[in-house]
Amino acid sequence: EYRFSEGEGLEGHSFGNLFIVAMTDVAGNFEEAVRETSRVLAVRGQILPATLSALTLCARTDDGTVVRGESAITEHGHVREIFLDPPAIQANPDAIRAILQADIIICGPGSLLTSVMPNMLVEGIRRAIDVSPALKVYVCNVATQHGETDAFKVSDHYRMLTEHIKVSPFDFVLANSNTNAVLPEEWHSQPVEVDTTALNGARVVKADVVAEENRYRHDSKKLADALIRLYYERHQMADSEPAVASPGASQSEKVGVG
C-alpha cells in the first residue's frame, strides 16, 4: 500500500485509509463508504469490515510506552503488544457469516501489526475463524517491514500473531521460497527467512510467490496459483482417505478422516 512520505498531517498515513475516510464523509457512514469504495474501484468480490464500531489501534512498546494510531505505531517501532481501544467491540455479523460459509480463509499478506492482526483482535472474528471448518492459510509477508517486523523470520511473524489472538487456527503457513534477492538499502527491509517446517500445529508450505519487479511484494498470480494448488491438494488428500468407522459405529455412521 502507498504511504505518504511527507506532507503536514499526511506523513506516514496510507492512501487507502485516507480514501476510506473521505468516502465515509461523503457517504455518511463507514459501512456505506466501504460499499461505495468497492463500486468506485470495481472490486471483484465483497469487502466486509471486521467491525462497524469506532475504535483506535494501539501498541505497547518495549519500554512500556502506549502508542495510539496506525501511522504512529509504524513510526515508533519496537512494538511488544497490539491492542484495540475499546477492547470489547462487536464483530460485523455479515463478516462472521461470510467466514463461517467460506471454503478457504486466507489471512494476509499485509502489514502484520497494523493490517492483518487488528482484524483478528476483534473477538467475534477470531472465534469464527477458529471454529470454521474451512481450510485456513496464513500468508506470510515476503519481506520484513521497517518499524513493524524488522529482522523477523517466518516463525516470528506467526508467533507474534498467535500470541495475540491466543489460538493457532491455521492449517498452513504459506511462505516465499525465493529469498535470494538483496533489497535496496533505503527500503530498510530484507526477505523473510523460512526457518521452520511446522508452527504450533500449522504446516509451513514454501512456494515462489514474490514479484520479480518489486521483491517487497507478492506476485498476485503466483500467490493465487499457490493457494489454489494448496486448496485442491488438500481436498484430494481428504477424498483419498478411506472412510473409517469409530468403534461400535454402524455402516451408515462412517466418516471420512481428513
pLDDT digits (tens, 9 = 90+) for 35-91: 888 788 787 888 899 999 989 999 999 999 999 998 889 888 789 999 999 999 999
Yes or no: say if 151 and 157 are a contact pair by the CB < 8 Å rule: no
DSSP string, 57-113: EEEEETTS-EEESHHHHHHH--EEEEEEESS--PBPHHHHHHHHH-SEEEE-SS-II
Percentage helix, strand, coil, to 5, in the chain? 40, 20, 45
Q: Give the pLDDT confidence score for residue 47 in this predicted structure.
A: 86
pLDDT digits (tens, 9 = 90+) for 228-247: 999 998 878 766 655 443 33
In angstroms, the CA 16 to CA 134 distance is 29
In angstroms, the CA 73 to CA 150 distance is 13
Rounded mean pLDDT of 184-206?
A: 92
Cell 502489514 sits on residue: 111
How buried is residue 26: exposed, middle or buried, by Cβ count under 10 Å (0-12/13-18/19+)? Answer: exposed
Domains of the chain (ranges; CATH) run 1-47 (no CATH), 90-241 (3.40.50.10680)
DSSP string, 20-52: HHHHHHHHSSHHHHHHHHHHHTT-SS----SBS
Q: Mean pLDDT in the chain?
A: 86
pLDDT digits (tens, 9 = 90+) for 99-143: 999 999 999 999 999 999 999 999 999 999 999 999 999 999 999
